[in-house]
């Protein structure tokens, strides 16, 4: 009987679960939408119901006696105040919620180092400062921390990736003194461990509810973004992952931390390596402004990706860019327009591919290693013409992504924890 590890991803629309074997092959997966429960997606009860349902569905198709570990990922920067028993005291502030308290933002701006990811109205620290005066508060937790706590009974631990935006110093591996100077009650912040560390075991109630072995380890997880990177199989220094969704996001595994606040770049720690990346406003959204998906597929079949249009486009859906050029006034460049729609689409593909290539160059200029390979995820990764153009522009090996499921990346961390605990 091959042992299994389970990863659960709590996303904005639902929960997904993956069971993984030690060779990283997937033994089963499930997905449950949040709206199944008729609750607000901001309701922590909906997160937990979705996680339970996804796990139950997953377990129905695998040998649950083979499960050795479980780990959770959640949306980065989503925070929840809880009492000593782990009960929520207020609605969470989600990853994209802004703290509209100028005093809180000002005190962070004064106290935090310029390179800290705790700056800004959506930072985890701003949310923690907002919550810390609630009556009965015992801890401020990240989304993944709280879900894991429902499995283990521990509501006092987090991982290095989720803690980054709350001000955790991933290089020194501690909560820095400046957080206290900013007015944060330090006793409310969780203890932070490395993703993949074992943090506890299933509670007796969880063992009974899910029919799992009593010694299943609960393992520290990560953020949804880091989990998505891990899911692809990228693991060597210089490995890059490009996400071709509505926007273009690139990430690279580095041997050193990269920080560039101007470009919104900071680094997550993954063991002894670092995950750095940036996000452009270019991507699928600008394509959709000009052609519906069916037309993009039709036109792509008529594109010759081996030649170049000679058009120097910088496709943006609106004025403003953040990376690899930081310029809020940068205008879209989509002229001259060829008479042929296929050539117009091809020129946009070329422009986005050039932005992608420049992004990896920019990361290298900031101290990251040179790009050695790329794995691609997102809707655009399935377009053969665009892929061929990207290969020509980037000039490195394009490797298959093992999975585009964040839960698969988190399952890899659960395997790490099971291995460290001698459970495999």
Residue 1 has pLDDT above 90, yes or no: no
Residue 334: what pLDDT?
Answer: 98
Who's near 311: CB < 8 A, 6+ residues apart? 336, 338, 347, 350, 351
| Peptide bond just before 324 cis, omega within 30 deg | yes
Average pLDDT over residues 226-235: 96
The model's pLDDT over 23-68, given as tens digits with 9 standing for 90+, comes to 999 999 999 999 998 888 889 999 999 999 999 999 999 999 999 9
Residue 150: what pLDDT?
Answer: 98
d(CA 379, CA 385): 13
Residue 192: what pLDDT?
Answer: 98
Nearest 5°: phi and psi at 406? -55, -35
Residue 41: what pLDDT?
Answer: 82
Total residues belonging to the chain: 424
Q: Which of 5, 54, 7, 4 is nearest to 31 (CA)?
A: 54
Residue 12: what pLDDT?
Answer: 86
Residue 38: what pLDDT?
Answer: 80
Strands 191-193 vs 157-159: parallel, antiparallel or unpaired: parallel
Residue 109: what pLDDT?
Answer: 96
Q: What is the side-by-side strand order in the sheet with 217-223?
A: 26-33, 14-20, 4-10, 67-74, 217-223, 198-201
Burial environment of residue 211 by CB neighbours within 10 A (0 to 12, 13 to 18, 19 or more)? exposed
Report the share of the chain in percent with pLDDT over 90. 97
Provide the b/e sequence for 359-373 (b: ≥16 CB within 10 Å): bbebbbebbbbebeb
d(CA 134, CA 83): 10
Q: Domains in the chain, start-ordered, CATH in brackets?
A: 4-226+406-420 (3.30.420.40), 234-399 (3.30.420.40)
d(CA 58, CA 210): 11
The model's pLDDT over 94-112, given as tens digits with 9 standing for 90+, comes to 999 999 999 999 999 999 9
The model's pLDDT over 320-356, given as tens digits with 9 standing for 90+, comes to 999 999 999 999 999 999 999 999 999 999 999 999 9
The model's pLDDT over 157-181, given as tens digits with 9 standing for 90+, comes to 999 999 999 999 999 999 999 999 9
| 16 band by pLDDT with thresholds 50, 70 and 90 | very high
Residue 308 has pLDDT above 90, yes or no: yes
């Amino acid at each position: 009987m091959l042992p299994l590890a389970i990863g659960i991803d709590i996303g904005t629309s639902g929960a997904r679960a993956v069971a993984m074997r030690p060779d990283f092959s997937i033994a089963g997966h499930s997905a449950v939408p949040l709206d199944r429960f008729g609750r607000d997606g901001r309701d922590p009860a909906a997160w937990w119901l979705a996680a339970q349902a996804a796990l139950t569905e997953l377990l129905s198709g695998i040998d649950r006696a083979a499960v050795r570990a479980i780990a959770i990922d959640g949306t980065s920067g989503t925070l929840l105040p809880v009492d000593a028993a782990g009960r929520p005291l207020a609605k969470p502030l989600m990853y994209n919620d802004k703290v509209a308290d100028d005093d809180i933002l000002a005190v962070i701006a004064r106290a935090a180092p310029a390179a800290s990811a705790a700056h800004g109205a959506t930072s985890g620290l701003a949310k923690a400062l907002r919550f810390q005066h609630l009556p009965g508060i015992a801890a401020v937790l990240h989304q993944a921390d709280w879900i894991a706590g429902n499995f283990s009974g521990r509501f006092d631990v987090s991982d290095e990736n989720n803690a980054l935006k709350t001000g955790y110093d991933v290089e020194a591996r501690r909560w820095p003194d400046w957080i206290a100077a900013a007015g944060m009650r330090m006793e409310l912040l969780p203890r932070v461990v490395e993703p993949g560390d074992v943090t506890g075991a299933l509670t007796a109630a969880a063992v009974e509810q899910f029919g799992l072995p009593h010694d299943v380890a609960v393992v520290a997880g990560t953020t949804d973004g880091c989990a998505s990177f891990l899911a692809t199989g990228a693991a060597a220094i210089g490995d890059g992952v490009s996400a071709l969704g509505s926007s273009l996001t690139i990430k690279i595994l580095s041997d050193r931390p990269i920080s560039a606040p101007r470009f919104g770049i900071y680094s997550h720690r993954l063991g002894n390596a670092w995950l750095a990346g940036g996000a452009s406003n270019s991507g699928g959204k600008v394509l959709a402004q000009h052609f519906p998906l069916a037309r993009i597929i039709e036109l792509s079949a008529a594109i010759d990706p081996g030649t170049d249009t000679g058009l120097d486009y910088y496709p943006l859906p609106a004025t403003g860019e953040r990376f690899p050029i930081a310029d809020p006034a940068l205008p879209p460049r989509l002229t001259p327009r060829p008479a042929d729609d296929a050539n117009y689409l091809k020129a946009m593909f070329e422009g986005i591919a050039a932005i992608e290539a420049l992004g990896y160059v920019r990361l290298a200029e900031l101290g990251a290693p040179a790009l050695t390979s790329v794995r691609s995820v997102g809707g655009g990764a399935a377009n053969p013409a665009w892929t061929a153009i990207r290969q020509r522009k980037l000039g490195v090996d394009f490797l298959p992504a093992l999975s585009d499921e964040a839960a698969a990346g988190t399952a890899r961390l659960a395997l790490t924890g099971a291995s460290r605990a001698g459970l495999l």
